[in-house]
Structure 1
């Protein structure tokens, strides 16, 4: 809308599925072409079908729908996960260019994240063997260099701490990871986390995301017959929008906030540049992962054990020329990085089986040894030491789901019974997040001459 209101002209063209050309609005003869694995056009040439899904208006249109993007990128993430590889998808670009739309989507036009989650469970349901599949979901945001758990209602002052382990690398201490049995549960968790996510209004985007969002899906496959497990970590990252102060009109706290966002993205760019130089044979003494919380958590995705894909979202408008050119250069550097992903398999069950048999057979308790041989295949009580079993985690999650269902049901009943106030936001996902129920005897509605509710006080 901002681009249309200002009478902007399109300076982007895509003549193939791999090339993107940008034209300098001050010097139309000056053009620069970038080549990527895939280039998607979603600027125009679309229409809505009966379900509200955007589709190509005609066969000659080069419009790429959400389904097209998921087919090319999302299915690759799922294939990697089933094979046991770690997979990461990052979306970067300026504010309002469509990063969150590509990742999360809106309405009937689901983005990559919900499609990946839905198809993962659809594939699990089709499996007919005696394998066990474990899926856990976590969701966090990095806001002003502080980590916030978007699935926890308790907010710690200063955010969660990022710690380092020799084997695990950087991790978020205390982050809630929820076991899930179906897509409906993940959908509810995403809705909860999205509502909490920090947003602030700027001139560029009235619901601009001022934080980096990281969704992690841990997918574990257990094969009891072969004593083998495969583990995959799927990281889906929606980076905060980059913007220039002149374009965004930020001031005061929003200006400071934007500065921190841009500094975080700059640190990410420095890491990408260092890794790109290393990939081309240049001598790199130091990769600055430790310069920001974001780069610490993305270390495995950027230069480690992961199959990583980057979506660079750009605006085709001439008034966004500088930001668009910067994003294209950013992506051009990133494509030079070469990761070495490996299949994450484990045979610890076999070692546990041998150890259990050795200890328990010496006690003459062969029956107990047989039961402990497959600790993941047979649900049991929570062990006194070590990590809780998957069965115990799942039982706890079911209890939490039940409590949430009761709370949602009670809230729905109250909204049908009591008068209440709701917040309104230009982003429909954030509308109705806040509810204030008006109790009997506490409101003077209708008594004033204007017959209106008078709201006073801070906020």
Structure 2
């Protein structure tokens, strides 16, 4: 047996048996019995998880999930039943020298703290463990301070005399020493909780080693934001700043490689009430806060550790054996893990959000360690388990390495809206119970001494007490001493010299007087000694009181000075408070003044805003009226241009008819000329066609200048037609005149659409594609079939494809183009500035005629040169006129 100093002896065998981590499940009762549940207990070892419809982890193929655990407690299970099934075996192991770890795991508001502590009328696991522990070792506890911690996770054994001396130094003398003024006495929470109403657990553990003496030590720590704090540490107090913040603790290894919290306060307790007093003292310092899901949510992981030190009695069965190697120390750690939280549900912010992040990080590390242990055992690997990533896993590393029994309670909230979190808790529990932990060996307390030493010593003391009592009853009471020298002197007359009787009587009387005198002297000396001792004791007490008075006088003086200083500070604060009150009143008056000014300015601003809105409405009304006027004027101008164009067309047709009549007057009938193919050059507007539907493009008041340009182009076309008429007259008289050059006002080019601007190509549905040679080229374009307002954004050019039938029944395509500009109101308007006409005719069955005139087309006696020249000029004129049309 490998026995470490002050620690539980550990056995390590090559073929050590292993046990799985025991996982239990407890279902919390519903607050509202009518709520929907996602959990159903099938039997004592199986539970069903039913996902609701709105669950994010629900799978369409999986309707329900079943999990098996060591035992499942439904919502009707009592605290006593949970303790007897889970924690009572751990208390038995604790008294038999074995270690144990029990921790509760679950989401927030699932009943973990209630399962661990409960309330006075229905206690949880921790109070019942203390009750059963002290019920089992009540008469076998060692006197206080016999077991002394060595501050290295071990214990030493002292004699009872040394223990009594240390008790006087720690408890009696500090009670006589005056406290520093201003230092408040700590009142433990147990004084106000009402311990009288607590219902203790009367269970006991059998088979306890009676020849050992026991001592119980408790400690209470918390792990907050992955930092270890001691909840039982006495915090220094400052009269100005109050209590100083607690110092963080570090984790260390002892001589047997077991982890412990360095410099952690361990308090020796002799009854459950002392332990509860220590527990409530630490409970006051534990980090608890209000969240959306829980009114008193634990913000840290708490660890309440119960350590039992036991040592065998000496051969006489009176005191503990003075051998530190014979001490056996076992511990039971009760861990209340904080609940996992999701930020989207709790809506935590600030410190609460940071705390929730650290809590979730710790639980995630715990899951990672469990998964790594399971993988190592399953695949027979030796990967490093990340115990050091969290203080919780680092502290309890030895338990997972085989230093004790590990049990876990899964606390479940059965509400349907908690299904997603409950699903992950179930998965972790299922994973945990697959981990195997080495079984701890049985501790043997064989010291070679005679068993039953304690009972034998108790019987011997009982006999000695009985004999002493009987002897005290048989002894006579001590005689009472009379403070006198005896009766009066007898008669001293001597009647004769031979009177021997009188002399003998006087001699006896004097001897009696001397004997009495000696007895009185002895009693006097005894009383003097007692008085002297009382006087010395009084003097000692007097000197002690004098010293205490001398010690208290500076404290009283200091207190007086502190009171004076506080009074002066109070007066200065009152004065400052009055000044602040006056300043606050002045600020209130200034605030009222500024408020009135602000109201005045707001009224002015509202007035100006209403005036602006009125002016804006007036302006819009006038603008609408102006737009309507402009539209009417434009309609009049369009009708005027249409009438004028119709007249010009009639005049042109009349001239052409006259020209045809002149040509038909010849003797030789001429072959009818083919219909010319016409193409209007880009930028040339044909105002003579009355069927041009300009209104289909739309109208914008800002296109007035563009329309004016179109009117000027129409008038220039009228001039060209006049020139053409004069040319026809000259040709009819067979007079060759030079041709008038045609000038394109938009410059001669192939297409204006060949720029890099972005075009909006508007092609209505139903258009027929023409295979003409000249086609518009638009490098960047966006084609639409129906024009909307949003389509005019991010474009600078617009092109509308319009098809119609000409007078000969042929399809004519017009490309109406314009620029897209922004308006002052934030919209878009189109300014039309170009129209391109694409036309394609079919020659039919006729043969294509040459552009040169043929001899059979003429009649008369002209020379061949004159005839060819005249016909060439006439044909050229017809081609030019057709292109202008």
Which TM-score tier does this pair reach, normalised by the shorter chain?
Answer: 0.5 to 0.7
Name the structure 1 match of 2:567.
none
Aligned positions, number: 332
Q: 1:11 aligns with which of 38, 49, 65?
A: 38
Q: Is the 8 A contact 2:312 2:447 kept in 1?
A: no
**Whole-Å separation in 2 of the counterparts to 1:168 and 1:153:** 28
Instruction: Tell me the C-alpha RMSD between the 2 structures.
Output: 2.8
**Whole-Å separation in 2 of the counterparts to 1:210 and 1:290:** 21
**Whole-Å separation in 2 of the counterparts to 1:282 and 1:125:** 47
**Whole-Å separation in 1 of the counterparts to 2:391 and 2:369:** 12
Structure 1, residues 136-160: CA drift from partner, whole Å, max 9, x if none?
A: 0000000011111111232666511
**Whole-Å separation in 2 of the counterparts to 1:66 and 1:121:** 19
Name the structure 2 match of 1:285.
383
**Whole-Å separation in 2 of the counterparts to 1:157 and 1:190:** 17
1:59-208 → structure 2 map (5 Å cutoff): 63-125=76-138, 129-154=210-235, 159-165=248-254, 167-208=256-297
- What SS does the aligned partner of 2:229 have? strand
Q: Is the 8 A contact 1:2 1:204 kept in 2?
A: no
Name the structure 2 match of 1:297.
395
Offset of 1:191 from its aligned partner?
1.1
**Whole-Å separation in 2 of the counterparts to 1:164 and 1:235:** 17
Q: 2:360 aligns with which of 256, 259, 262?
A: 262
Query: Which protein has greater RCO, CA pairs closer than 8 Å, 6+ apart?
Result: 1
Q: Is the 8 A contact 1:83 1:343 kept in 2?
A: no
In the alignment, structure 1 residue 38 sits paired with structure 2 residue 38: no
Q: Is the 8 A contact 2:223 2:392 kept in 1?
A: yes
**Whole-Å separation in 2 of the counterparts to 1:183 and 1:318:** 40
Offset of 1:38 from its aligned partner?
0.6
**Whole-Å separation in 1 of the counterparts to 2:348 and 2:33:** 19
Q: Is the 8 A contact 1:163 1:171 kept in 2?
A: yes
Name the structure 2 match of 1:274.
372
In the alignment, structure 1 residue 223 sits paired with structure 2 residue 312: yes
**Whole-Å separation in 1 of the counterparts to 2:72 and 2:32:** 27
Distance 1:7 1:303, change over 3 A: farther
Distance 1:237 1:223, change over 3 A: same
TM-score, normalised relative to structure 2:
0.36
Structure with greater strand share of residues = 1
**Whole-Å separation in 1 of the counterparts to 2:114 and 2:425:** 17
Offset of 1:85 from its aligned partner?
1.1
Q: Is the 8 A contact 1:147 1:161 kept in 2?
A: yes
Offset of 1:348 from its aligned partner?
12
Structure 1, residues 398-431: CA drift from partner, whole Å, max 9, x if none?
A: xxxxxxxxxxxxxxxxxxxxxxxxxxxxxxxxxx
**Whole-Å separation in 1 of the counterparts to 2:271 and 2:30:** 40
**Whole-Å separation in 2 of the counterparts to 1:274 and 1:5:** 40
Offset of 1:343 from its aligned partner?
4.2
Q: 2:51 aligns with which of 3, 16, 24?
A: 24
Q: Is the 8 A contact 2:305 2:334 kept in 1?
A: yes
Distance 1:197 1:330, change over 3 A: same
- What SS does the aligned partner of 1:339 have? strand
Q: Is the 8 A contact 2:252 2:262 kept in 1?
A: yes
Which is higher, the Rg of structure 1 or of structure 2?
Answer: 2
**Whole-Å separation in 1 of the counterparts to 2:308 and 2:334:** 13
Q: Is the 8 A contact 1:277 1:284 kept in 2?
A: no
Q: Which runs of 4+ in 1 moved over 6 A?
A: 346-350
Distance 1:157 1:222, change over 3 A: closer
Distance 1:134 1:349, change over 3 A: farther
**Whole-Å separation in 2 of the counterparts to 1:2 and 1:35:** 20
**Whole-Å separation in 2 of the counterparts to 1:277 and 1:134:** 40
Offset of 1:107 from its aligned partner?
3.3
TM-score, normalised relative to structure 1:
0.67
Structure 1, residues 215-269: CA drift from partner, whole Å, max 9, x if none?
A: 1111122222587543211111001111111121212221111001100111111
Distance 1:243 1:269, change over 3 A: same
Structure 1, residues 277-302: CA drift from partner, whole Å, max 9, x if none?
A: 23334424111111111111011223
**Whole-Å separation in 2 of the counterparts to 1:152 and 1:331:** 35
Q: Is the 8 A contact 1:100 1:238 kept in 2?
A: yes
User: For structure 1, which segment, 338-347 or 323-332, has the greater mean C-alpha deviation from structure 2 after superposition?
Assistant: 338-347
Offset of 1:2 from its aligned partner?
13
Distance 1:330 1:303, change over 3 A: farther
1:328-343 → structure 2 map (5 Å cutoff): 328-343=426-441
Distance 1:303 1:330, change over 3 A: farther
Q: 1:319 aligns with which of 417, 431, 446?
A: 417
Offset of 1:7 from its aligned partner?
7.6
**Structure 2 unaligned runs (5+)?**
1-27, 141-208, 236-243, 316-320, 449-570, 575-885
Distance 1:157 1:101, change over 3 A: closer
